[in-house]
Amino acid sequence: MWNCEGGKAQSAYRIIASDTRGNILWDSGRVESSQMAFIPYPLDTPSRLRVNWKVKLWDEN
């Protein structure tokens, strides 16, 4: 779960998952939603695969 600075409300998010070499495994694209948790990861990944996550948020402005 994450929070926007200054108590602003989240209006959208984007999640990018990549492997340790920087290859993108999944990019959600911009999703108009205030959802902050329990966002499903749509891929099956091998066990022990390290995944790096980047999350970008947009607030109501």
Summarised one tens digit per residue, pLDDT across range 38-52 is 888 888 888 889 999
Asked whether residue 9 carries a pLDDT value surpassing 80, the answer given is: yes
Domain borders along the chain are 9-38
Give the pair of three-digit tokens for residue 9. Answer: 């409300």
So what's the pLDDT on residue 2?
66
